Amino acid sequence: MFEVRCKDVGFDCPGVVRGMTKEAVAQQAAAHAVEVHGAVVTPALAATVMAAIQNGESHGLDASHGSSAPRGNDHGG
């Protein structure tokens, strides 16, 4: 399982996106960044996210689809 933390890519957010592949994590992280943070996913942001994706499980909050992560709005991001 792979994961990326919002705080590791510059967002003040406790969210963690997890997935079975780096590509799945990157897609979910992009959707989260747009929907929750109002970010524009630029090539630079995408590269930062890809570089921050780690292999391994974590005990952080989950910002991925179907998670129980605290968010301002429930929009599946």
Q: Is residue 75 part of a domain?
A: no
Task: Give the 3-state secondary structure of the chain.
Answer: CEEEEHHHHCCCCCEEEEECCHHHHHHHHHHHHHHHHCCCCCHHHHHHHHHHCEECCCCCEECCCCCCCCCCCCCCC
pLDDT number for residue 17: 96
Q: Is residue 71 part of a domain?
A: no
Domain range for 29:
2-62
Q: Is residue 68 part of a domain?
A: no
pLDDT digits (tens), the chain, 77 positions: 999 999 999 999 999 999 999 999 999 999 999 999 999 999 999 999 999 999 975 444 445 443 333 333 333 44
Q: Is residue 22 part of a domain?
A: yes
Predicted TM-score of the model (pTM): 0.71
